[in-house]
């Protein structure tokens, strides 16, 4: 091979294009190739599959797929916001929109798709959108909020249409879905499944119009969408009435982005798409196409998993290998508006001889259909010679071919494995629909992970089989995180994670590894056991505990965990003596570490009540120190971008203005949010703000296994969202209702009612007990919701402990809490009052210089940390900073 470096151009930095880059880099292609990527969108690759999470609180940064520093690597470059406009095959070069010309040795087209917008009149009115990119979603949100939209409609009732409808709902719009076909998701599910889905979707308040063709978007005199006109999709149907709408999202399917290939004269499919062979090569051997723009094995593949497989094939071919793309599995399982929907294999039963077993419950709106094939004829000669009157044990088993699940997809993984032949099908076919819960006939017949064949595909996004996962466990992975890191399983859509976790546990057990709940390698005890030891033996320091009950030198897991126990049980300043060495950096610096190494500062605002003077003081502090400010979900103000050496000065100013630490940095009580309650609100029945302030001041600084959030509402309208908190109190005419163990975050869960119509003192008594019981018995980083889910006996048991004192521990709980309340001190104040403690807050111990690797840029009038590409070369930085 000649020593000349070759050039690969990649058009498109979407999900598939980026996977290709990652694979090429991993396999060392940059030793020989310069890889130039053109990325049409104004941002590099992001997780399009998770796009809708932008409407559930995620930010575009959360979706980023590109590791920091990725494009800074040698051999890689990217043109962001620039598209390839010409592919000149004769000259062997591409030219971009901005006029960049690159001579290539090979090109990969990874240009994805565009949403199809049906040619109805008025479709270009202001207020018409598509749903494909971050920009699209931001435009929808901005338009809806800026113009005060009330009603929105989605054209198209497929998978993406329903996601878009959910987004409109979350913007608070009255939402309509208009589908041409007689049912929702016509491509994936059948009539009855669709009916179940429809009634669930309608329960959520979405209006569904099926069998309806959009004939016109009506435009107002201001150019904005005003309404929609329809015709019946079939001649028999009655003409549907017009609809007044303010916003329309088109989601009527996608079309491959094949314009570039078309104008370059490459072979195209009849209905679009760049034709490729099994090497993903187009009609020009120097040009490949992958992902949604490619027509491979005679069809388009509108999912990310087949695209990733194509990326792997092309990476291999470019490096001289011979991998092929021969098709992929289109099974899908999703949660649409909270409803499980799955479709896999021959879902409609088109295979000759196929029959379906169905379950259709109109009450719970669960629908399941499993398609089975005919029994293999006389496979082992036994079918012809029945030996008894019963068929059981004599007929061959019928194979699962496919199916549809709506409302309950718990059987999905098992059924898909059966349809792939990787798991035996039970003889009693009803077990496919009602899995046996206990042991018994058929129960063991292959419903657990153990029954999966070795080559069973577990992660279809990354093509990882059971064998590979088992091998990873045998090589020493003991948890899902480890398996993810070494096999990539579960890093795509994440749908296979439960299966991966089941497999890991199964393999560990099979290997005789006891699955223990040890805190870490230094202590052979769970957090609860350690807490009991610390408390019972009055242990006062980490080193005492380590020498008596542990081994080694401790680590970042056990040190902060033990520090938290010592803080709960003792009343010393958390940075005194040895305690200082145990704290996470957040607790060590009493502020929250951000990704660039700076900190954020949150003063306490009890109950969310704040005076104008305090607001002004916060504003002055932010201005004087150049901090970014943001209102948090817990009704307070977060100040970002402070350097270590600035922290005490910031606190001094806040303390002078009568504020104190908000403990946002600790695993501790965060906030008790409240509504204004009776003092102002015409519906309020109690003073919710006063109670919230009292509770926040009582439990402030209380260290716990994880953060604790709380709220108080002044009436049953629940404006403070108390039922989504670790504890929540809601006013009633007679007193207060107390809810516990609610959770927002990753896995939202409503709180459960612990006691109703109790008075203020009882609220506090129960809360003292509840919190101490949780702190003593939960695992490290376990929120109250998860803790309750695992608690033997559940809510009933919790009530007996907290209300009926069945363990006889309540007196102890109350004493522990009283000690906490009496011992509370503001940690900021304690720090700034002590010169020796102040001396720890320096960027460099031996210099007064500040860290000039912390770089801010201005965005929307405020500072934010610079991203890697906005900073000097990180390789230079790694050398040590200042040039």
Distance of CA 693 to the CA centre of its chain: 33
Residue owning tokens 């102002």: 680
Pairing outcome for strands 151-155 and 174-178: parallel
Tokens matching residue 549? 């009950």
Token code pair at residue 840 = 């720890």
Among 286, 509, 515, 555, binds other proteins (CB under 8 A): 555
E-state strands within 346-496: 355-361, 366-372, 400-406, 457-459, 464-465
The answer to whether residue 52 forms part of the interface with ligand FAD (CB under 6 A) is yes
Residues 525-554 that bind other proteins (CB under 8 A): 552-554
For 217-246, the DSSP string reads EEE-TTSBEEEEEEEESSTTSPPPPPEE-S
With CB under 6 A as the contact rule, which of the stretches 301-309, 633-641, 767-775, 837-845 interacts with ligand FAD? 301-309
Q: Residue 815 CB, nearest distance to ligand SF4 (Å)?
A: 34
Among 36, 144, 154, 160, indicate the residue that binds ligand FAD (CB under 6 A): 160
The nearer residue to ligand FAD, 14 or 550, going by C-beta atoms, is 14
> With the C-alpha atoms ordered 386, 390, 394, 396, is the resulting torsion angle positive or negative?
positive
- Residue 291 binding partner per list ligand SF4, ligand FAD, other proteins, none, with a CB distance cut-off of 5 to 8 Å that depends on partner kind: ligand FAD
Q: Which residues contact 842 (CB under 8 A, 6 or more apart)?
A: 644, 645
Closest CA to 288 of 309, 310, 308: 310
Strands, sheet with 355-361, edge to edge from the N-terminal-most edge strand: 332-336, 339-345, 400-406, 366-372, 355-361
Q: How far is the CB of 184 from ligand FAD (least distance, A)?
A: 16
Instruction: Determine, following the binding rule CB under 8 A, whether residue 589 of this chain makes contact with other proteins.
Output: yes
- Pick the closer one to ligand SF4 by CB: 603 or 684: 684
CB of 347 to ligand FAD, least distance (A): 16
Whole-number minimum distance, CB 593 to other proteins, in Å? 6
Q: Which value, in Å, is the radius of gyration of the alpha carbons in the chain?
A: 31
Q: Which residues contact 847 (CB under 8 A, 6 or more apart)?
A: none
| Interacting residues with ligand FAD between 320 and 379 (CB under 6 A) | 334
Could you say which of ligand SF4, other proteins, ligand FAD, none residue 585 binds, taking C-beta under 5 to 8 angstroms by partner kind? other proteins
Residue 282 as a binder of ligand FAD (CB under 6 A): the answer is no
Alpha-carbon torsion, ordered 166, 491, 785, 774, to 10 deg: -160
Residue 418 contact among ligand FAD, ligand SF4, other proteins, none, beta carbon within 5 to 8 Å by kind = none
Q: How far apart are CA 193 and CA 396, in angstroms?
A: 29
> Does position 637 bind ligand FAD by CB under 6 A?
no
Non-local CB neighbours of 373 within 8 Å, separated by 6+ positions: 351, 353, 354, 398, 399, 400, 401
Considering only residues 326 to 365 of the shown chain, the ones binding other proteins according to CB under 8 A are: none
Binding mask 596-635 for other proteins (x = CB under 8 A): xx--------------------------------------
Helix or strand run (H / E) with residue 115: strand 113-115
Among 291, 648, 728, 742, binds ligand FAD (CB under 6 A): 291
- Footprint of ligand FAD on 467-526 (CB under 6 A): 493
Q: What letter would DSSP give residue 241?
A: P
Cα 808–811–817 angle (5° rounding)? Answer: 135
- Closer to ligand FAD at the Cβ: 292 or 782? 292
How far is the C-alpha of 213 from the C-alpha of 234, rounded, in Å?
Answer: 9
Cα dihedral across residues 522, 524, 526, 530: positive or negative: negative
Nearest approach, Cβ of residue 760 and ligand SF4 (Å): 16
Binds ligand FAD (CB under 6 A): choice among 33, 38, 70, 525: 38
- Note whether 113 and 273 are within 8 A (CB): no
Which listed range, 108-116, 697-705, 754-762, 807-815, lies at the site for ligand FAD (CB under 6 A)? 108-116
608 binds ligand FAD (CB under 6 A): no
List the interface residues with ligand FAD, window 60-89 (CB under 6 A).
Answer: 83-84
Among candidates 405, 358, 416, 413, which has minimal Cα distance to 200? 405
Give the burial string for 191-204 (b: 16+ CB within 10 Å, else e): ebbbbbbbebbeee
Say whether residue 312 binds ligand FAD (CB under 6 A): no
522 binds other proteins (CB under 8 A): yes
> Which residue's CB atom is positioned nearest to ligand FAD?
14
Footprint of ligand SF4 on this chain (CB under 6 A)?
A: 675-677, 681, 683-684, 688, 713-715, 717-719
Minimum CB separation of residue 66 from other proteins in Å reads: 13
Q: Establish if 40 lies at the interface with ligand FAD (CB under 6 A).
A: yes
Q: Minimum CB separation from ligand FAD for residue 464, in Å?
A: 16
- Cα dihedral 634, 637, 641, 643, rounded to 10, equals -100
Kindly state whether residue 49 participates in binding ligand FAD, applying the rule CB under 6 A: yes
CB 694 within 8 A of CB 736: no
Residue pair 82/39 in contact by the 8 Å Cβ criterion: yes
Partner that binds at residue 553, options ligand FAD, ligand SF4, other proteins, none, CB closer than 5 to 8 Å by kind: other proteins
Residue 580 touching other proteins (CB under 8 A): yes
From 282-290, 391-399, 744-752, 875-883, give the range in contact with other proteins by CB under 8 A.
875-883
Residue 334, contacted partner among ligand FAD, ligand SF4, other proteins, none, CB below 5-8 A by kind: ligand FAD
* Closer by beta carbon to ligand SF4, 293 or else 715: 715
CB of 15 to ligand FAD, least distance (A): 4
CB-CB contact of 197 with 341 (8 Å): yes
User: Segment 1-20, which members bind ligand FAD (CB under 6 A)?
Assistant: 11-12, 14-17
Residue 713 partner contact from other proteins, ligand SF4, ligand FAD, none using kind-dependent CB cut-offs of 5 to 8 Å: ligand SF4
Q: Which of 24, 35, 132, 559 binds ligand FAD (CB under 6 A)?
A: 132
Gap between the Cα atoms of 530 and 549, Å rounded: 9
Q: How many whole angstroms separate alpha carbon 8 and alpha carbon 13?
A: 14
Q: Does 648 bind other proteins (CB under 8 A)?
A: no
* Binding map of ligand FAD across residues 112-131, x = CB under 6 A, - = no contact: xx-----------------x
Choose among ligand SF4, other proteins, ligand FAD, none what residue 718 binds, the Cβ cut-off being 5 to 8 Å by kind. ligand SF4
Structure tokens at 323: 């991998």
Task: Tell how strand 628-631 and strand 637-642 pair up.
Answer: antiparallel
Taking CB under 8 A as the criterion, which residues in 835-854 touch other proteins?
A: 843-847, 849, 851, 853
Beta-carbon contacts of 271 under 8 Å, excluding residues fewer than 6 positions away, are: none
Q: Where are the beta strands (DSSP E) in 715-811?
A: 727-731, 736-740, 752-758
Identify the H or E element spanning 468: helix 466-474
Instruction: Give the SS3 label for residue 592.
Output: strand
List residues near ligand FAD by CB under 6 A.
11-12, 14-17, 38-41, 48-49, 51-52, 83-84, 110-113, 131-132, 160, 163, 257, 260, 291-292, 302-305, 307, 334, 493
Footprint on this chain of other proteins (rule: CB under 8 A): 68-69, 521-522, 552-556, 558-560, 578, 580-586, 588-589, 593, 595-597, 843-847, 849, 851, 853, 868, 874, 877-883
């Amino acid at each position: 091979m000649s020593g000349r470096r070759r050039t690969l151009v990649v058009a498109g930095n979407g999900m598939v294009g980026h996977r290709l880059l990652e694979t090429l880099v991993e396999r060392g292609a940059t030793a020989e190739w310069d890889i130039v990527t053109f990325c049409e969108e104004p941002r590099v690759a992001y997780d399009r599959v998770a796009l809708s999470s932008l409407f559930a609180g995620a930010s575009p940064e959360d979706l980023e797929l590109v590791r920091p520093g990725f494009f800074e690597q040698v051999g890689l470059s990217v043109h962001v916001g620039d598209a390839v406009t010409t592919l000149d095959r004769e000259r062997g070069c591409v030219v971009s929109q901005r006029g960049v010309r690159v001579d290539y040795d090979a090109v990969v087209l990874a240009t994805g798709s565009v949403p199809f917008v049906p040619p109805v009149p008025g479709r270009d009115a202001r207020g018409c959108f598509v749903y494909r990119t971050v920009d699209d979603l931001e435009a929808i949100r901005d338009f809806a909020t800026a113009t005060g939209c009330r009603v929105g409609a989605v054209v198209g009732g497929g998978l993406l249409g329903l996601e878009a409808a959910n987004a409109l709902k979350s913007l608070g719009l009255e939402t309509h879905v208009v589908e041409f076909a007689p049912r929702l998701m016509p491509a994936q599910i059948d009539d009855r499944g669709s009916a179940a889905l429809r009634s669930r979707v309608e329960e959520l308040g979405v209006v569904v119009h099926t069998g309806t063709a959009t004939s016109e978007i009506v435009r107002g005199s201001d150019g904005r969408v005003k309404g929609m006109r329809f015709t019946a999709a079939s001649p028999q149907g009655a003409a549907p009435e017009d609809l007044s709408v303010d916003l329309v999202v088109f989601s009527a399917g996608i079309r491959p982005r094949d314009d570039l290939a078309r104008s370059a004269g490459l072979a195209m499919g009849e209905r679009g798409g760049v034709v490729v062979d099994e090497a993903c090569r187009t009609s020009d051997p120097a040009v490949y196409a992958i992902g949604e723009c490619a027509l491979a094995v005679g069809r388009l593949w509108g999912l990310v998993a087949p695209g990733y497989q194509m990326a792997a094939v092309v990476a291999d071919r470019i490096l001289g290998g011979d991998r092929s793309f021969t098709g992929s599995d289109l099974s899908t399982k999703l949660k649409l508006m909270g409803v499980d929907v799955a479709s896999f294999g021959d879902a409609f039963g088109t295979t000759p001889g196929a029959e379906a077993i169905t379950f259709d419950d109109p009450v719970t709106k669960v629908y399941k259909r499993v398609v089975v094939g005919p029994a293999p004829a006389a496979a082992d000669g036994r079918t012809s010679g029945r030996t008894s009157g019963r068929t059981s044990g004599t007929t061959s088993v019928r194979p699962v071919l496919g199916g549809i699940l709506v409302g309950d997809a718990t059987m999905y993984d098992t059924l898909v494995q059966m349809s792939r032949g990787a798991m035996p099908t039970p003889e009693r076919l009803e077990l496919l629909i009602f899995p046996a819960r206990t042991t018994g006939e058929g129960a063991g017949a292959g419903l657990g992970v153990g029954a999966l064949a070795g080559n069973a595909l577990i992660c279809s996004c990354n093509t990882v089989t059971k064998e590979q996962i088992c091998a990873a466990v045998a090589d020493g992975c003991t948890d899902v995180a480890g398996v993810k890191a070494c096999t990539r399983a579960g890093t795509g859509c994440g749908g296979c994670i439960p299966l991966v976790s089941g497999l890991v546990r199964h393999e560990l057990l099979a290997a005789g590894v006891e699955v223990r709940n040890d805190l870490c390698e230094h202590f052979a005890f769970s957090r609860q056991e350690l807490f009991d030891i610390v408390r019972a033996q009055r242990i006062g320091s980490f080193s005492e505990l380590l020498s008596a009950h542990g081994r080694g030198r401790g680590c970042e897991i056990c040190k902060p965990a033990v520090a938290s126990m010592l803080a709960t049980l003792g009343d010393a300043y958390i940075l005194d003596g040895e305690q200082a060495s145990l704290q996470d950096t957040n607790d060590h610096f009493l502020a929250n570490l951000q990704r660039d190494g700076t900190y954020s500062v949150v003063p306490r605002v009890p109950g969310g009540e704040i005076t104008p003077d305090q607001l002004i003081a916060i504003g002055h502090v932010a201005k004087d120190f150049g901090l970014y400010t943001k209102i948090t979900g817990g009704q307070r103000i977060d100040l970002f971008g402070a350097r270590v050496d600035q922290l005490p000065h910031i606190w001094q100013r806040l303390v002078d203005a009568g504020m104190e630490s908000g403990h946002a940095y600790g695993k501790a009580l965060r906030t008790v949010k409240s509504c204004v309650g009776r003092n102002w609100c015409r519906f309020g029945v109690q003073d919710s703000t006063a109670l919230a302030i009292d509770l926040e001041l009582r439990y402030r600084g209380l260290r716990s296994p994880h953060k604790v959030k709380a709220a108080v509402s002044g009436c049953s309208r629940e404006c403070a969202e108390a039922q989504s908190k670790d504890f929540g109190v809601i006013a009633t005419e007679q007193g207060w209702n107390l809810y516990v163990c609610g959770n927002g975050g990753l896995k939202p869960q409503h709180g459960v009612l612990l006691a109703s119509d109790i008075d203020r003192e009882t609220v506090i008594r129960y809360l003292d007990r509840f919190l101490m019981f949780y702190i003593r018995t939960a695992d490290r980083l376990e929120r109250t919701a998860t803790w309750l889910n695992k608690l033997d006996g559940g809510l009933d048991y919790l009530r007996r402990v907290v209300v009926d004192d069945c363990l006889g521990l309540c007196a102890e709980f109350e004493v522990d809490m009283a000690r906490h309340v009496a011992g509370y001190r503001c940690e900021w104040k304690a720090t700034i009052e002590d010169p020796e403690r102040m001396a720890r807050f320096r960027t460099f111990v031996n210099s007064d210089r500040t860290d000039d690797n912390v770089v801010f840029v201005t965005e929307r009038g405020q500072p934010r940390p610079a991203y890697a590409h906005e900073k000097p070369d990180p390789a230079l930085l790694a050398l040590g900073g200042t040039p």
